[in-house]
A and B are shown apart, each in its own frame.
Chain A
């Protein structure tokens, strides 16, 4: 099946930029997503990118998509302590199904 991979942990200092990376396998994905999960909570959609785009910016969030390498990244500018959470990338691979990566736990150090 589809395989979506992320590194498990990332620590950054408050005010720095965070970059969370993700690789996926299904080249036919139409949408790719970034979700945020805070402790004990469900997932919150942060942003998404359509597969024919290279970049999307939304306030402090920048998504970069390298379709050739099947690589997706999420950059959070001026990272704040409230950004500490688990971030999941997900690809939509047919039949409206989402396949999630393992999640990256972002820790922001004050």
Chain B
């Protein structure tokens, strides 16, 4: 089946620094990738939709200058949390849609970000 990887799986960073999370589709091409944030005991909230070769579309309330998304190729999207603060600590999950699939998103295993 289709596999999506995320790197790193866990990261701890200090306040004020930036951290980059990678999302890769390993065996398929993804024209669209999605970034979600999961809060403890809460649902996943869609942060942004990234399309290969174009600017990401951010959901209302998500700061695009703080959460930089780049989708430079059909298999890689990155999320950079800039000037991280403790409240950015969360579980970030990406998903990717196979360019030939009409419905299914394949999810990565998630990245646990802790900002100290």
Contact = CB atoms under 8 A, between A and B. Distances in A.
Interface of A: 1, 4, 8, 30-31, 35, 40-45, 48, 88, 92, 95-103
Interface in B25-64: 32, 34, 36, 41-46, 49, 60
A98 B110 contact: no
Interface residues on B, range: 20 to 34
Contacts, number: 52
Contacts of A44: 107
A103 to B, nearest CB: 6
A103 B110 CA distance: 16
Contacts of A35: 107
A89 to B, nearest CB: 10
B110 to A, nearest CB: 5
A35 B60 CA distance: 24
A98 B44 CA distance: 10
Contact of B43 (A41, A45, A103): A103
16 contacts: A35-B107, A41-B109, A41-B110, A42-B6, A42-B107, A45-B107, A48-B104, A95-B49, A96-B49, A97-B34, A97-B46, A98-B46, A100-B45, A102-B43, A103-B42, A103-B43
Contacts of B100: none
Given A42-B93, A45-B104, A92-B103, A99 B46 contact: yes
